[in-house]
Amino acid sequence: MLIDSHCHLDFETFDSDRQRIIESCRQHNICGFMVPSVAPRFWPRQLRLASEYPEVALALGLHPWYVSEAAIESLRDLAKVLDSSPAPVLAIGETGLDKLKGNPELQLLSLKYQLGVAQELDKPVILHSVKTHARLQDILRDYPGVRGVVHGFSGSYEDAMRFIDIGFKVGIGGLITRPNARKIRAAVTRLPLHSMVLETDAPDMGLYGHEGSRNSPENLVLILNCLAELRQQDPESIQRAVLSNTRELFTWPPSV
């Protein structure tokens, strides 16, 4: 079995065929989907999705592309929503920093607030990082005990190991299928297997040859097979490891 540790199944692009995709994933032994938030205004949509599909678990938070003063103010309700939600909200995020897009001051304010909630409630964090690895690592050291995943990781082996040493895992997605993504393809051959989880970031982060088209959680098996080929390991052994990593990270399934 596999769990897609990061996909946006709540997005409108899946409204016309979401049921078909989930049924197809079941046939490919993809047994779970972690659906992170991009903004508080979408939390109700995520909560409805999780109520309809038992395979779906949630992360609630504010993505750095969507930061605004109003959105950050809405974050004040995060702990209350987490406490009252009947749906499995297993993580905070996605949050983080992006040097190429968004307001850096508001991103930092949003990030620190969400890290504080994660620390207080002992929940993992899903991090977005674009050209901000060193800055994020410095910030995370101010929140001891906070764990999580750096999703859609595209950095070097050394960058990954610094996150791992802080207590984070790295999310491996379709980028590794692209021959010119030399840095991350080299990194995954050396990273310890216990440090990785698999993701599609659907509908984004298309696989090699499918850039620009809608990505799907169904492609998680192709990412697994590519990782196995790069590492020259048996796909079944990697599948067992990444499934265990994902369940451990998110405490999945949640205790009742």
**pLDDT of amino acid 83:** 84
16-43: string of b/e by CB count within 10 Å (b at 16+)?
eebeebbeebeeeebebbbbbbbbbebb
Q: Is 69 annotated as a binding residue?
A: no
Q: Is 6 annotated as a binding residue?
A: yes
Helix, strand, coil percentages for the chain (3-state, nearest 5)? 50, 15, 35
In a domain, 96, yes or no: yes
Task: Indicate the number of domains in the chain.
Answer: 1
**pLDDT of amino acid 256:** 36
Q: Is 94 annotated as a binding residue?
A: yes
Domain of 174 in residue numbering reads as 2-250
Q: Is 142 annotated as a binding residue?
A: no
In a domain, 255, yes or no: no
In a domain, 206, yes or no: yes
**pLDDT of amino acid 182:** 95
∠ CA 203-206-208, nearest 5°, is: 165
Show pLDDT as tens, one digit a residue, over the chain (256 residues).
Answer: 999 999 999 999 999 999 999 999 999 999 999 999 999 999 999 999 999 999 999 999 999 999 999 999 999 999 889 888 888 999 999 999 999 998 999 999 999 999 999 999 999 999 999 999 999 999 999 999 999 999 999 999 999 999 999 999 999 999 999 999 999 999 999 999 999 999 999 999 989 988 888 999 999 999 999 999 999 999 999 999 999 999 999 999 875 3
**pLDDT of amino acid 86:** 85
**pLDDT of amino acid 48:** 95
Between the alpha carbon of residue 123 and those of residues 14, 189, 230, 248, the distances in Å are: 28, 29, 32, 12
Q: Is 63 annotated as a binding residue?
A: no
∠ CA 149-68-112, nearest 5°, is: 40
Q: What is the CATH number of the domain that holds 164?
A: 3.20.20.140
Q: Is 201 annotated as a binding residue?
A: yes
**pLDDT of amino acid 113:** 96
Please state the length of the chain: 256
**pLDDT of amino acid 211:** 81
Order the strands of the 125-130 sheet from edge to edge.
2-4, 30-36, 56-60, 89-98, 125-130, 148-150, 168-172, 196-198
Sign of CA dihedral 44, 58, 34, 19: negative
The Cβ-side half-sphere exposure at 139, using a 13 Å CA radius, reads 20
In a domain, 256, yes or no: no
Strands 168-172 and 148-150: parallel
